[in-house]
């Protein structure tokens, strides 16, 4: 088994960290710079920063905030939200991001994955997929989860891999913020379809949920927000539990 990663996520709106349930009912979760520093100090393996209203508001990611956070942490840093071009990706990488997360823009223009991967390498390109169950399958949603594209999520994730994405950040909209556990059925199906790393997002509420996501669906990383923001679970505590289960992790 390859080394697994623990990744806190900062959902950003108007310069603050927020968290909701099923992409709705957002509440304030703190200052993103302070949270980023805390997670870096506590032993998080990576950090994800998502400017969740950038696409809806038709603006670019909050680049000054990205610069501030990058100076405070010493772990890999993924940034997403409203990124529409190779030029914007380059600007964010120069501002301190190690990877960029692309969602709505690559659904609209799939060739952006090819161009970005060719320009910066697959390791810098994360395809973010917000998936929601519709009948017996999962559809891809964009614009902060407000618009159903009608795309089949599994087929779309196979396509992003073929186009050069180096990783998939898969969020179950049905589980997001519910703390009822990850969508193991969806995660298992995805890992049958793709060979690039998959980050599980949406539903973390307990340590066991994270263990199950790794052992049952074989994801490469688990991402969580509220359980870390509000100190319901400490990163060090989670890492100790994973180690006890025989799951290889990076030392803090």
Residues 104/143, Cβ–Cβ less than 8 Å: yes
Q: Which of 31, 41, 51, 130 is catalytic?
A: 130
Catalytic (active site) residue 109: no
d(CA 198, CA 221) in angstroms, rounded, equals: 7
d(CA 166, CA 43) in angstroms, rounded, equals: 23
Number of helices and strands in the chain (H, E)? 10, 12
Catalytic (active site) residue 28: no
Task: Scan for tokens 């990663």, then name that residue.
Answer: 5
Q: Which of 11, 51, 139, 183 is catalytic?
A: 11
* Alpha carbon distances (Å) from 32 to 60, 80, 144, 186: 18, 14, 19, 30
For β-strands 125-134 and 137-142, DSSP reports them as antiparallel
DSSP letters, 153-179, are HHHHHHHHHHHT-SEEEEEETTTTTT-
Catalytic center residues: 11, 130
């Amino acid at each position: 088994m390859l080394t697994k990663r623990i990744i806190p996520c900062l959902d950003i709106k108007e310069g603050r960290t927020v968290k909701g349930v099923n992409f709705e009912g957002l509440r304030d979760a703190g200052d993103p710079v302070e949270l980023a520093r805390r997670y870096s100090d506590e032993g998080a393996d990576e950090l994800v920063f998502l400017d969740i209203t950038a696409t809806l508001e038709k603006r670019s990611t909050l680049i000054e905030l990205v610069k501030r956070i990058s100076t405070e942490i010493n772990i890999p840093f993924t940034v997403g939200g409203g990124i529409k071009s190779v030029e914007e990706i380059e600007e964010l990488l120069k501002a301190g991001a190690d990877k960029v997360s692309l969602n709505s823009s690559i659904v609209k223009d799939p060739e952006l994955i090819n161009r970005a991967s060719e320009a910066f390498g697959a390791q810098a390109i994360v395809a973010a997929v917000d998936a929601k169950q519709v009948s017996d399958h999962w559809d891809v949603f964009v614009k902060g989860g407000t618009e159903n594209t009608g795309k089949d999520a599994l087929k779309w994730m196979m396509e992003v891999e073929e186009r050069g994405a180096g990783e998939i950040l898969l969020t179950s909209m049905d589980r997001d913020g519910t703390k009822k556990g990850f969508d193991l059925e969806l995660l298992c199906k995805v890992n049958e379809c793709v060979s690039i790393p998959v980050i599980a997002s949406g539903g973390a509420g307990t340590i066991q949920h994270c263990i199950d996501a790794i052992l049952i669906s074989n994801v490469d990383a688990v991402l969580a927000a509220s359980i870390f923001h509000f100190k319901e679970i400490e990163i060090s505590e989670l890492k100790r539990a994973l180690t006890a289960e025989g799951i290889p992790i990076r030392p803090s």
